[in-house]
Amino acid sequence: MPGGYTWGAMVTEFQGSREAENLRVGVIASRFNEFITARLLSGALEALRACGIPDKDIVVAWVPGALELPQAASRMAKGGGWDALVALGCVIRGETYHFNVVADCAAQGINAVARETGVPIAFGVLTVDNAEQAVARAGGALGNRGADTAEAAVQMANLFRELPPLP
């Protein structure tokens, strides 16, 4: 029972565990800002292994940038064989509106693919003001969001296994 709450004797509760048993996970990583995304990927792979997923059940697909993440996620999700996907990228604010377009399209695109396909997709795209903020979130002082995102993907895959099937 998360948080120590008491819900009552009649309440059914589902929660995906962080322990992976027979899960296949696809990781999609953006090459743009690779000095950050490589760190996110490293954290994600470490977390997936710590959950018990062997390397043979992990696939990494590189895409040019954050805008291409939803396209690859759609292809992988519709192709089948994945219990969860992890989308990793880094969009650093610049001087133009382009930052907003890329960040919004990546987030909305991944969300749409997850809803359309029913495959859980964890969103690990950093949207930051500068490189220092990105480094802090990619293995620096604030942890590694790649690892956090991979753990979320495992939890969602396990949750989907626990929930009753769709009609």
Positions marked active-site: 98
* CA quadruple 158, 160, 161, 162: dihedral, nearest 10: 90
- Write the secondary structure of 104-136 as one string of H (helix), E (strand) and C (coil): HHHHHHHHHHHHHHCCCEEEEEEEECCHHHHHH
What is the distance between the alpha carbons of residues 43 and 105, in angstroms, rounded to a whole number? 24
Q: Which residue has the tokens 């990927």?
A: 41
The two structure tokens encoding residue 60: 């990494």
